[in-house]
Structure 1
Amino acid sequence: MEKCHNYFLIGLFLPSLLSTSLSISTTNITTDQSALLAVRAQFSIESRHILTKNWSIGFSVCDWIGVTCGSRHHRVTALNISNMDLGGLVPPQLGNLSFLVSLDMSINNFRGELPHELARLRRLRVLNLGVNNLNGDLPPWLGSFHQLQYLTLMNNSFTGLIPPSISNMSKLISLRLRYNSLRDISNEVFNISSLEIIILDRNSFAGSLPDYMCQHLQKLKLLSLSGNNLNGQIPSSFGQCSQLQKLSLSYNKFTGVVPKEIGKLTELEVLYLGQNSLEGKIFILSQDFGCPCSFKHSY
């Protein structure tokens, strides 16, 4: 009798479980499509734009232009709509693409501030919003992208500070913020040991560089800070950036003697120090000749 009772209970709950499972599966398949349709509705595009026809329920969402789906979960993992003559505000519905790993909306005409809904994209590894008309402060929630490796926001009109929360991006490899109106460099930037590329030129950064700035940047290969209002002396700790290949500090207000430690950077290929108030000369150890060579530069 007890076994019959158990089978009866299973018979009661099984249809409910199957219904719930199917509901979840259906939601998973259609969630991204609904989100992208809402995104398309927010774009400022002409009626003849290719996305108005291609992004429709007549096609599988995984076949839409610029959309890539993962084979495992069959969810949208990448969205590349760069250089497609799109405009308007950045759609907040993008935050519903919870499996998104890469988002590229560069070279368009998007404007306004970044919607906070983007903070829900916790799987992001690539975020490229460069060459648009975006403005406002860089939001603190950028630090919620713990998996992010490549952040590109260059050629926009962002203002204010680089938020200290950026230090939470412990896997960040490339940071490209050039051609904005940012004011201060958060020292937390120089604590991200995974960084290989830092491009912050053509902003309004002021103040001096911290003496310890290369202590945690052992992987740094490219550093560009040209065209700002940085002052003070160039830190001697640059000698600790042993992998540095390109260093650009021109068009600032640096003073004093060029630190001799720069001459010990054996991987250095490009050095820009022009349009500062520096003095002295640099001795670079030539790998070809194995001897100290005098390198003169017009500062």
Structure 2
Amino acid sequence: MSKAHTKTTQHSNPMERNLSLCIVIAFLVPFSTLSSVNAEVTDISTDKQALLALKARVSHDPSNILANNWSTSSSVCSWTGITCAGRHHRVRALNISNFGLTGTLPPQLGNLSFLATLTFRNNSFYGSLPEELAHLRRLKHLSFSFNRLSGEVPERIFDNLPNLEVLALHFNTLQGKLPLTLSKCKKLQELSLSFNFFTGTIPKEIGNLTQLKWMYLGGNKLQGTIPKEIGNLT
């Protein structure tokens, strides 16, 4: 092979590679963008899949409420315990209290992004609280009281719940320390964590919850002194 031909070949290879790379990028970018957009789009079908994930986790439904009523053939907004509202027509309230249900809580609950009320009072749900609840930025009322939930309460849950007004977790078997991140829930008015197995001290950061009207911490294994910052809760 001549030197001239070799030189021409060496000069053409980078150009060919760049051209091929540009073609590949031009082909892939629209699909990458589309995937990103699709990942962010949520609608009532998102809520439906989250609720069906919850139904699949229920192992005992004594009145067959979910089994018979939460049907894929009917509108989510007509299901027992579900309230839809707003111009987006999304699930705003999930209240399945007093149904005698047994099961665990799926992480998909965090996909109910328009939820303002989440109430599972007086059932037999067990296992841990999913940290995906941190995604429910619109949540105002969260109640899992009178169940059999266990383990520590994930600190991350309260990192991003700026609208939470009521937190009721009393009468479970939760343990560990009281989450310091509770102090980020500036609108909290009622805090009920009594009759669990919480240990450690009462965090002084609770004194930052200046909207708090009710606080129940009895029936735990807390120790130490009552922080003087509690006096900020006028």
- TM-score category by the smaller chain? 0.7 to 0.9
Mapping of residues 15-34 of structure 1, within 5 Å:
28-34=43-49
1:125 aligns with one of 125, 135, 140: 140
Q: Which amino acid aligns with 1:81?
A: I
CA displacement, residues 245-276 of structure 1 (integer Å, 9 cap, x when unaligned): xxxxxxxxxxxxxxxxxxxxxxxxxxxxxxxx
Q: State yes or no: 1:170 paired with 2:173.
A: no
Mapping of residues 173-192 of structure 1, within 5 Å:
173-183=189-199, 184-192=201-209
Q: Which amino acid aligns with 1:178?
A: S
TM-fit CA distance, 1:47 = 8.2
TM-fit CA distance, 1:48 = 6.1
What is aligned with 1:100? 115
TM-fit CA distance, 1:153 = 0.2
Structure 1 vs Structure 2 CA RMSD: 2.1
What is aligned with 1:73? 88
CA displacement, residues 11-48 of structure 1 (integer Å, 9 cap, x when unaligned): xxxxxxxxxxxx89x95131111211121111112486
* Aligned-partner SS, 1:159: strand
TM-score (norm 2): 0.78
TM-fit CA distance, 1:147 = 1.0
Q: State yes or no: 1:211 paired with 2:233.
A: no
Residue 57 to residue 139, structure 1, CA distance change in 2 (3 Å): same
In structure 2, distance between residues paired with 1:55 and 1:211: 49
CA displacement, residues 157-176 of structure 1 (integer Å, 9 cap, x when unaligned): 11111111111000000000
Q: State yes or no: 1:152 paired with 2:168.
A: yes
Residue 199 to residue 48, structure 1, CA distance change in 2 (3 Å): closer
TM-fit CA distance, 1:120 = 1.1
> Structure 1 runs of 4+ off > 4 angstroms?
none
Mapping of residues 236-251 of structure 1, within 5 Å:
none
- Which structure features the higher share of helix residues? 2
1:53 aligns with one of 65, 68, 74: 68
* Aligned-partner SS, 1:73: coil
Q: Which amino acid aligns with 1:160?
A: G
Stretches of structure 2 lacking an aligned partner (at least 5 in a row) = 1-37
TM-fit CA distance, 1:143 = 2.0
In structure 1, distance between residues paired with 2:217 and 2:62: 38
CA displacement, residues 167-187 of structure 1 (integer Å, 9 cap, x when unaligned): 100000000011011112111
Residue 148 to residue 54, structure 1, CA distance change in 2 (3 Å): same
Query: What is the percent sequence identity of the aligned residues?
Result: 43
By relative contact order (CA 8 Å, sep 6+), the higher-ranking structure is 2
* Aligned-partner SS, 2:99: coil
Q: For the Cα contact (< 8 Å) 2:121–2:143, is it kept in 1?
A: yes
Q: For the Cα contact (< 8 Å) 1:161–1:186, is it kept in 2?
A: no
Q: Which amino acid aligns with 1:176?
A: S
Matched residues, number? 196
What is aligned with 2:52? 37
TM-score (norm 1): 0.62
Residue 209 to residue 40, structure 1, CA distance change in 2 (3 Å): same
